[in-house]
């Protein structure tokens, strides 16, 4: 990949396309590229929805190659939700296809002078931008169907739903999966609102007529890739648990650990968990003719996704992920898989982050807008968001805004972004990540659950503050580097436990690129990315006081362990002392 396509939406005669070489960004991919461009080119104090912000979409370094698990994609911007830098990550087909077309990044710049909506087509012949107001306020499913009618069924789409057009803080960017369904989302941080502010509804990617990217050293690459895949398949998490039950395998596990946030973070266990567990989800999918194991892009060998059918055997949505089942399930005391799947479908179609919306509905329930456990009320509230009613616009801007509007004290957010499916009081390492991540509360930024709960990469007692800072620091560094490669984060389970699998990954990178990267180089890459992101946030006005959990986490004891978050503020301030 040696090209960046820039689309200036402010150009006087309409959007202007410029295709450039990588220049100073040579050698960067994924999060490394998105964060470097944002940190270099975007004024930290700018309005996230203004012309000065940019939206960067970047496949990883290995995307478009035969490297297993290399189909992730990064979306970067100044976040409308947090006010800081954002990298939101997704699976789906577009990453591999952009890689094969030779594009390391798409940069949307400026802002249209009017409310015209545009579609972008990227193929072997170049990039075209066309006005198309017929797409206004279409859901992601209808948008993709319309694009298939125009460009065929071999394309991939990157799109926003009505939430993105309405510039909501919870708006996501959708990426199509192998079935050309918009089920993969860069959900966190409101990047869909930035795409909406740029006036771009959909980016169609067509890689017909191009070949897979070739490695610099084919034999070394092939051998390393084979060893890497073998390592993933022999690990209990990546080779057994995730393929069998998907990410929702964690529902029972985290509930048993007492860390499953329930009723807006009032408890760590949910009585109805068996009805919505990974095991029950897989049984339901199989019985209805869906799929309990499935890949979100070509080249996935973990296959932690699935396909969920309704009671009549018709496709409803992809397999709801653990965070989605928690957000719309346990967190709202809803134990109905069909209701959760319908909420997931609505979120995907409207273009909304399921984590942010589930947390928001939990806050709304605590505010009295609905009763905990009322699935129909939750569905009604999400439909309000899609319709853009006054209440919907409040909810669509996330848990922090909703809590302020309705006077709720227990609002589980950091830097304006909702916490995912692990309570920091019972999983204290993830609390350190939530508090200190450049991204706002984000489990994927440094997945301490692996070590706190699953015993991957060692063991650190989840209920005690000792060792959590070092754990989170190391994982945040490693994660930033993985996000640059286009690799799925789930490879971390195997590479943390199996040194030979980690070495195989490095050999895959070197065999493909011709580089001589070492483990130390991987660490330095992660540190460099985090330093850039931290500096941007500091220049945007963030201080150490923003690296904190909500006060109630330090005061309210969480059942069943009756613990509070115990990592001291001065320890949190040491996380980035590399």
Nearest to 156 by CA among 296, 21, 34: 296
Handedness of CA 498, 502, 503, 505 (dihedral sign): positive
Last residue of one domain, picked from the residues 421, 450, 473: 421
Write down the pLDDT at residue 297: 78
- Let me know whether 196 and 220 are in one domain: no
Same domain flag for 15 and 160: yes
| pLDDT, position 114 | 95
Q: Can you name the residues that pair with 318 across neighbouring β-strands? A: 307
Last residue of a domain, one of 373, 397, 421: 421
The per-residue pLDDT for 152 is 96
In a domain, residue 189? The reply is: yes
Question: What's the first-to-final CA gap in the chain, in angstroms?
Answer: 31
User: Is residue 183 domain-shared with residue 328, that is, in the same domain?
Assistant: no
Any idea what the CATH number is for the domain that residue 125 is in?
Answer: 3.60.9.10
Asked if residue 561 and residue 500 are part of one domain, the reply reads yes
Domain for residue 193, yes or no? yes
Three-class secondary structure of residue 370 per DSSP: coil
Within-domain flag for 489: yes
Count of structural domains, the chain: 3
- Which structural domain, as residue segments, surrounds residue 287? 261-421
User: Do residues 66 and 116 both lie within one domain?
Assistant: yes
- Residue 504 falls inside a structural domain: yes
Residues 411 and 430 reside in one and the same domain: no
Asked if residue 255 belongs to a domain, the reply is no
CATH number at residue 510: 1.10.599.10
C-alpha distances (whole Å) from 326 to each of 126, 332, 384 are 42, 8, 21
Domain contains 383: yes
Model confidence, pTM: 0.97
Regarding whether 201 and 172 lie in a shared domain, the answer is yes
Give residue 120's pLDDT: 98
**Last residue of one domain, picked from the residues 421, 453, 468:** 421
- Structural domain includes residue 252: no
Looking at the fold, whether 546 and 578 belong to one and the same domain comes out as yes
Q: What is the pLDDT of residues 304-340, one digit of tens each?
A: 899 999 999 999 999 999 999 999 999 999 999 999 9
Contacts for 110 with CB less than 8 Å, ≥ 6 apart: 8, 9, 10, 11, 51, 198
507 and 545 belong to one structural domain: yes
Cβ-contact 313, 319 below 8 angstroms? no
Q: Are residues 128 and 63 in the same domain?
A: yes
Residues 93 and 198 in one domain: yes
Distance CA 419, CA 261 (A): 10
Consecutive 10-residue averages of pLDDT for the chain (578 residues): 95 95 96 98 98 98 94 97 98 96 98 96 98 98 98 97 98 96 98 98 97 96 97 95 93 98 98 97 96 85 94 97 98 98 98 98 98 98 98 98 98 98 98 98 97 96 98 97 93 95 96 94 97 98 98 98 98 96
201 lies in some domain: yes
- pLDDT digits 0-9 by tens, 346-356: 999 999 999 99
Same domain, 454 and 550: yes
Quote the CA–CA distance of 444 and 123 in Å, as a whole number. 32
- From the CB of residue 136, how many other CB atoms can be counted at a distance below 10 Å? 12
């Amino acid at each position: 990949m040696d090209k960046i396509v820039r689309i200036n939406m402010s150009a006087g005669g309409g959007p202007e396309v410029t295709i450039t070489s990588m220049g100073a960004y040579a050698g960067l991919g994924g999060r490394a590229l998105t964060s470097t461009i944002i940190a270099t080119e975007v004024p930290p104090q700018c309005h996230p929805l203004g012309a000065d912000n940019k939206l960067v979409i970047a496949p990883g370094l290995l995307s478009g190659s035969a490297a297993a698990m290399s189909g992730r994609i990064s979306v970067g911007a100044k976040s409308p939700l947090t006010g800081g830098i954002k990298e939101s990550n997704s699976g789906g087909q577009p990453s591999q296809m952009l890689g094969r077309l030779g594009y390391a990044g798409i940069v949307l710049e400026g802002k249209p002078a009017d409310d015209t909506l545009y579609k972008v087509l990227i193929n072997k012949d170049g990039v075209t931008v066309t006005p198309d107001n017929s797409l206004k306020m279409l859901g992601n499913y209808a948008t993709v169907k319309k694009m298939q009618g125009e460009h065929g069924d071999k394309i991939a789409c990157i799109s926003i739903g009505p939430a993105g057009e309405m510039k909501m803080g919870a708006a996501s960017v959708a990426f199509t999966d192998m079935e050309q369904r918009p089920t993969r989302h860069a959900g966190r941080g409101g990047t869909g609102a930035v795409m909406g502010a740029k006036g771009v509804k959909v980016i169609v990617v067509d890689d017909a007529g191009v070949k897979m990217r070739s490695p610099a050293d084919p034999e070394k690459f092939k051998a390393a890739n084979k060893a890497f895949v073998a390592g993933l398949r022999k690990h209990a998490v990546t080779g057994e648990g995730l393929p069998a039950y998907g990410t929702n395998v964690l529902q029972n596990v985290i509930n048993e650990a007492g860390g499953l946030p329930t009723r807006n973070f009032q408890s760590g266990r949910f009585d109805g968990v068996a009805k919505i567990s990974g095991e029950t989800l897989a049984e339901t999918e199989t019985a209805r003719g869906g799929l309990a194991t499935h890949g979100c892009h070509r080249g996935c060998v973990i296959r932690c996704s699935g396909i969920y059918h309704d009671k009549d055997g018709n496709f409803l949505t992809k397999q709801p992920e653990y965070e989605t089942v928690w957000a719309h399930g346990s967190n709202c005391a809803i134990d109905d898989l069909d209701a959760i799947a319908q909420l997931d479908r609505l979120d995907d179609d409207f273009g909304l982050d399921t984590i942010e919306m589930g947390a928001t509905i939990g806050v709304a329930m605590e505010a009295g807008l609905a009763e905990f456990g009322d699935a129909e009320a939750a569905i009604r509230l999400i439909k309000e968001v899609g319709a853009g009613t006054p209440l919907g616009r409040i909810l669509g801007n996330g848990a922090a805004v909703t809590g302020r509007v309705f006077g709720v004290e227990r609002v589980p957010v950091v830097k304006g972004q909702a916490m995912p499916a692990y309570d920091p009081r019972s999983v204290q390492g993830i609390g350190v990540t939530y508090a200190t991540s450049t991204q706002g509360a984000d489990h994927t930024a440094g997945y301490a659950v692996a070590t706190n709960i699953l015993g991957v990469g060692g063991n650190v007692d989840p209920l005690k503050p000792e060792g959590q800072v070092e754990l989170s620091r190391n994982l945040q560094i490693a994660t930033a580097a993985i996000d640059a490669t286009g690799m799925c984060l789930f490879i971390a389970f195997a590479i943390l436990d199996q040194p030979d699998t980690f070495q195989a990954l490095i050999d895959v990178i070197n065999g493909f690129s011709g580089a001589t990267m070492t483990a130390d180089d991987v660490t330095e890459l992660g540190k460099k990315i985090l330093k850039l992101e931290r500096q941007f946030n500091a220049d945007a006005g963030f201080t150490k006081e923003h690296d904190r959990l909500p006060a109630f986490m330090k005061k309210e004891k969480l059942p069943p362990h009756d613990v509070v978050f115990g990592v001291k503020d001065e320890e949190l301030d040491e996380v980035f002392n590399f």
